[in-house]
Amino acid sequence: MKYDVIIVGAGPAGIFSALELTEKSNLNVLVIDRGVDIEKRKCPSQRGFDCVHCEPCNVLNGWGGAGAFSDGKLTLSTEVGGWLNQYVSTKELEALVKYCDEFYIRFGASKEVFGGDNEEIDEIARKASLAGLKLIKQEVRHMGTDRCLEVLKEMRNYLDSKITFMPKTEVKGLIVDNHMIQGVETVSGEKIMAKYVIIAPGRGGAEWLQTEAQVRGLKTVNNPVDIGVRVELLAAVTEKLTKVLYEPKLIYFSRSFDDQVRTFCVSPHGEVTTESYDGVLTVNGGSHAETKTLNTNFAILVSTQFTEPFKEPIAYGKYIARLSNLLSGGVMVQRLGDLTHGRRSTPERIAHSVLVPSLKNATPGDLSFVLPYRYLTDIKEMLEALDKIAPGVASPETLLYGVEVKFYSSHLQLNNSLETKIQNMFTIGDGAGVTRGLIQASASGVIVAREILKREKAPKA
């Protein structure tokens, strides 16, 4: 089989490459994903059951990628969500963010936007600064997990007659000749040829990309390793922040180690969820547009920039997550009060709390046996700082789920078009380490598609 463009990965990055290519050319586009089509993506843990370790994980793989079961937040800012500002100017990135946002609205995203710049937000920023926190001002469009799925379904339906989609197809490796991409080879031995190959593996395929880069002699650069916990508390505690900002994006530098600590993926009135990376269980969170709970959850992540000779950030993150799985049989949960007093949480202590855990199958335990002292110290300091702007965050009843790890920790050396040293081969999205959010992942897909269109100079008939 031969195509003009092969896109490996059907997450937001790959989808937006396909949208841009098919809207502006007649190029023959193939999209490959190791997961299933969006209508068949079902996850037991999303419906209150235990994770059964589907292989590949239905939360991470398939049409829509990890974004399909995310909170569906579109962060309309150039300051957060990735590192595309290293490849394009701020003005270009602003235009790309706006362009991608308009696509989401076109396919059904809510028109309501949170955040921005007003007196109420200025006051939150002032209080945050007094607590040693920096508030990143941003606009956020929230779709919710349910509406996010509907938007992705609409994109799938729109592209159905315009592309070829091969679900449940795993790419084994790349076909390269004389430093130029020729196509891909699947695990089943099928060789599919193309002039251009866009690698958009998502977080579920980040490790595969890293391995393939080593085989091809492509140099990778480590991003910070993001490891932390998912915090759950009563929604009323952070209501003043989430009502205005929806997602308060706060950054803190710890007193003890000067590490960067940040809030991530705030899910007001949402639920804590699980993800499985090649059998390693981690936590996440999400909110629905319609269904509301009494709890809010968010991640606290510690970013660590490792240097030589360290070169396996994904393996390190998996090691920490496996330790939690080993000690708890899955995901571990602990009351902050128990962690502070140096004791493990028990089902009885959690049952006595006013706060009811949204993740029913988490095992009470002791996170001090999982996370290094440095990480725990940073996290506790961050909670104390947050308590100054939202009293109750550092309550003894606050729940900490472990662990949360983000697997986008290395990227290849790329030019400004996100092209690798192998000609006509591009890498985009979270799994390629250039983004860490829906909007910038989508924008990276547009950047590459436009470069291909420019090289082809083939206007749509």
The tens digit of pLDDT for each residue in 32-86 reads 999 999 998 887 666 555 677 777 888 889 999 988 888 889 999 998 889 999 9
Which is it for the CA torsion 240, 245, 248, 251, positive or negative? negative
Both tokens of 164, joined, read 């070829």
Strand order in the sheet with 113-115: 73-75, 139-142, 113-115
Look at residue 50 in the predicted model and tell me its pLDDT: 66
- The share of the chain scoring above pLDDT 90, in percent, equals 74
Cβ neighbours for 208, distance < 8 A, ≥ 6 positions apart: 171, 201
Structure tokens at 436: 């860490």
Decide if pLDDT at 412 tops 50.
yes
Q: Which domains does the chain have, with CATH numbers?
A: 2-114+140-221+410-456 (3.50.50.60), 224-406 (no CATH)
Nearest to 420 by CA among 251, 209, 152: 209
Place of tokens 């508030």: 135
**458 pLDDT higher than 70:** no
Q: Tell me whether the omega of the peptide bond preceding residue 56 falls within 30 degrees of 0, making it cis.
A: yes
- What the block records as the tokens of 89 is 């100017």
With H, G, I as helix, E, B as strand and everything else as coil, classify residue 386: helix
Instruction: Say whether pLDDT at 342 is over 80.
Output: yes
List 228's β-bridge partners, or say none.
Answer: 301, 404
Q: Give the CB-side neighbour count of residue 229, counting CA atoms within 13 A.
A: 29
pLDDT tens, 423-433? Answer: 999 999 988 88
- Averaged pLDDT of the chain: 92
Alpha helices in 219-272 (DSSP H): 235-245
